[in-house]
Amino acid sequence: MLRKKITVIGAGNVGATTAQRLIEKALGDIVLVDIVQDMPQGKALDILESGPVYGYDSKITGTNGYEETKDSDIVVITSGIPRKPGMSRDDLLKTNAGIVKGVVENITKNSPHAILIVVSNPLDAMTYVAHKFSHFPKHRVMGMAGILDAARFSTFIAMELNVSVENIQAFVLGGHGDTMVPSTRYTTVAGVPLEELLSRERLDALVKRTRDGGAEIVQLLKTGSAFYAPSAAVVEMVEAILKDKKKIVPCAALCEGEYDINGLFVGVPVKLGAGGIEQIFEIRLNDEERTALKRSADAVKVLCEQIDKLL
């Protein structure tokens, strides 16, 4: 049986760690692309040489072009400049929109049937760029954010309650950034609603820390942004698609009327399988959650309108 082909665009911390995790799970053959001469080739060779220790026979190729990416099943886009201390996600908009547009135009030429997973920031807006310039159907374009945000929320809850992360089912909606909507009402610990276990004050503190999760790591690292948790989240999405798991996870998906949102990529619960996004799940929100989600969608809309003027 022919192995699946997964291309990772951008061989920085997020891209290289994603490639490493994908190959260690033997999910397919990997192509690692970056514009920096020889760098993806060096990282690919290093990862390949781990094969005898980890026991994988998958291949990984590093390249500075797109020839080797031809006929990829999944393409993960991590390219763009990272956020620096004091820089908002919105500051990244113009530079990264141009980068993602160029990447997508190359991908569509070489892999017209691929599924795109966007990781570049500001994430919801970059997923919009990928959809706009790929002309792919909406089920084959998605953004990785919800899984990462839910993982952060779960981590903080586990720390607070001193329980296993495996007991926690965290639920996060909305854009990836300051307006995201971690739901304390739908988040459960071993099936028990989180709101029954913590005071409103502690809940609010955990929600705030989740919203600021990326910025907290940027502040600590000083010279970059998170990459271990983001790469883990990407791998969960790739695995759900390639193994046709029909897994329900939060992703940035194109809403066309769901949650009263139209024409925007926003984090919502979706079913991920071989077809990509096979379904968007619409859950009942209370007035407070609906207002927060609308605010989040409005923030994404502003960025998308800026993109339409820029590109």
118 and 254 assigned to the same domain: no
> How far apart (Å, rounded) are the C-alpha atoms in residues 91 and 84?
10
164 and 256 assigned to the same domain: yes
Phi (first) and psi of residue 215, to 5 degrees: -65, -35
Per cent of the chain over pLDDT 90 is 90
Containing H/E element for 43? helix 39-48
- Average pLDDT value for residue range 64-83: 94
User: pLDDT value at position 81?
Assistant: 85
- Average pLDDT value for residue range 266-293: 97
- Average pLDDT value for residue range 272-298: 96
177 and 284 assigned to the same domain: yes
User: pLDDT value at position 89?
Assistant: 61
The count of domains in the chain is 2
Among 113, 131, 135, 176, which one carries the catalytic annotation?
Answer: 176
Instruction: Give me the residue label for tokens 């854009």.
Output: 175
User: pLDDT value at position 224?
Assistant: 86
Of 113, 128, 143, the one marking the end of a domain is 143
77 and 155 assigned to the same domain: no
Selection from 274, 281, 290, 1 nearest residue 139 by Cα: 274
pLDDT digits (tens, 9 = 90+) for 111-149: 999 999 999 989 999 999 999 999 999 999 999 999 999
Sheet of strand 262-273, all strands in order from the earlier edge strand to the far edge = 60-63, 29-33, 5-9, 74-77, 115-118, 141-143, 247-256, 262-273, 276-280
Contacts for 230 with CB less than 8 Å, ≥ 6 apart: 14, 18, 119, 144, 148
Instruction: Give me the residue label for tokens 């026991």.
Output: 55
**Contact criterion met (CB below 8 Å) for 132 and 100:** no
> How far apart (Å, rounded) are the C-alpha atoms in residues 175 and 181?
8
Band of pLDDT at residue 92, cut at 50, 70 and 90: confident
pLDDT digits (tens, 9 = 90+) for 173-226: 999 888 999 999 999 999 999 999 999 999 999 999 999 999 999 999 998 899
Instruction: Give me the residue label for tokens 């160029």.
Output: 102
User: pLDDT value at position 86?
Assistant: 75
- Average pLDDT value for residue range 84-88: 70
- Bridge partners of residue 5, in order along the sequence: 29
104 and 240 assigned to the same domain: no
Of 113, 143, 173, the one marking the end of a domain is 143
187 and 267 assigned to the same domain: yes
Domain that holds residue 249: 146-310
pLDDT digits (tens, 9 = 90+) for 8-45: 999 999 999 999 999 999 999 999 999 999 999 999 99
148-151 contacts, C-beta under 8 A, 24 or more apart: 148/176, 148/213, 148/229, 148/230, 148/233, 149/176, 149/180, 149/182, 149/210, 149/213, 149/250, 149/267, 150/182, 150/249, 150/250, 151/229, 151/232, 151/233
User: pLDDT value at position 57?
Assistant: 96
Q: What is the pTM of this model?
A: 0.96
Instruction: Respond yes or no: is residue 176 known to be catalytic.
Output: yes
Total residue length of the chain: 311
Of 90, 117, 143, the one marking the end of a domain is 143
Please state, rounded to an integer, the average pLDDT across all residues of the chain. 95
- Average pLDDT value for residue range 68-82: 95
163 and 302 assigned to the same domain: yes
pLDDT at 83 over 70: no
Contacts for 201 with CB less than 8 Å, ≥ 6 apart: none
- Average pLDDT value for residue range 79-98: 79
> What CATH number should be reported for the domain holding residue 24?
3.40.50.720
**Does residue 193 have a cis peptide bond before it, meaning omega lies within 30 degrees of 0?**
no
